[in-house]
Amino acid sequence: MVDAESERRLRNAGTWGGLAVSAIALAGVMAATAGQGTPPTERAAPTAAQEPGCPPETGTSRLADPAMPDPATVTPQRAAELDRRLTEAAAGQRIPTADSPVTIPVIVHVLSRQDGTGNVSRAKIDAQIAGMNKAYSGGHGGADTGIRFELHDVTRTADDLWFRDFMGNEEAIKRELRRGDGGTLNLYTADLGRGILGRSTFPQDYSVNDWADGVTVDYRTLPGGGREKFDLGHTATHETGHWLGLFHTFQNGCSHPSDYVDDTPYERQQSAGCPEGRDTCPSRPGEDPVRNFMNYSDDACMREFTEGQGERMRRAWAAFRA
């Protein structure tokens, strides 16, 4: 077993100077309103990091195989509690409109092997941020959510153990690398294995485990990353939706209140591939939202957020991250 000091000597961590943070951008993220909380969520799978002595908390994730059990399933009870906390925290808050976009600073933490595996290029990172901006602005045909992203920095850490076992070393990784407050999106890339594409925390949980806050994706899901069916960058788009308070479109199945967004049709179960015309809740209006970014469809199928999802994300931003 490698002790902590020996492991640190094996690590070769470096930071790229990213885009300069303007005074205005910094002002927008310096004050994060603490929500009352519980912990993480989401595109396929995870258990969130935990404080010593505490039971593991579930996060939320995107799965590569929608047929496999999702260890990050959000129970109806937990979803209801998260929604209650959002409603209470957002009361009296000034909610941004889609006409005045919120710009979120992003710090990308690239984990890789010592031999360079996983050391994704700056070009792929730039493409990821551009892809998220296109998705969140309605560039694929969906609604403009009023959310934008700006890359502020990139860190690079070569550590074989951290790269291949992010979940098993999550607390150590995030406590060392994470930067900013609740309004800063920390995006980690690593090898998450075959089953999990990405994972995220919920904004309601920032006040409980601020060090755990952020989004993690498999490095191959970035644009051009080579993950079959999932390399257009929509895993980060999906997981960031959770980071901003969204549930999966199939949350609660055909039962009220579904995903707590009025304009996403009910859906009994997650989608796979791109099953256009599928209707798993025939007694409810509308076909399944298989093209929604908060589903499990292939990247090429995904193209939209709804106006209601945009409003919920902006409410969560004002309540917990602004």
What lies within 8 Å, CB to CB, of 214 at 6+ separation is 174, 178, 185, 186, 187, 188, 200, 201, 243
SS3 175: helix
Question: Taking 70 as the threshold, does the pLDDT of residue 24 lie above it?
Answer: no
**How do residues 275-322 score in pLDDT, each as one tens digit?**
999 999 999 999 999 999 999 999 999 999 999 999 999 999 999 999
Q: Cα angle vertex 39, ends 14, 59, to 5°?
A: 75
What is the identity of the amino acid at 5? E
Confidence of residue 72 (pLDDT cuts 50, 70, 90): low
pTM over 0.85: no
CATH class of the structural domain 12-248+304-321: alpha beta
Sequence spans of domains, the chain: 12-248+304-321
Distance of alpha carbon 76 from the chain centroid: 20
Could you read off the pLDDT of 190-237 as tens digits, one per residue?
Answer: 999 988 999 999 999 999 999 999 999 999 999 999 999 999 999 999
- Give pairs for 15-20: CB < 8 Å, separation 24+: 15/153, 15/154, 15/155, 15/156, 16/122, 16/153, 16/154, 16/155, 16/156, 17/153, 18/107, 18/151, 18/152, 18/153, 18/154, 19/150, 19/151, 19/152, 19/153
7 is catalytic: no
Residue 249 has pLDDT above 50, yes or no: yes
CA distance 122 to 129: 11
pLDDT exceeds 60 at position 244: yes
Element at 52 (helix H, strand E)? none
- Active-site position among 57, 239, 267, 311: 239
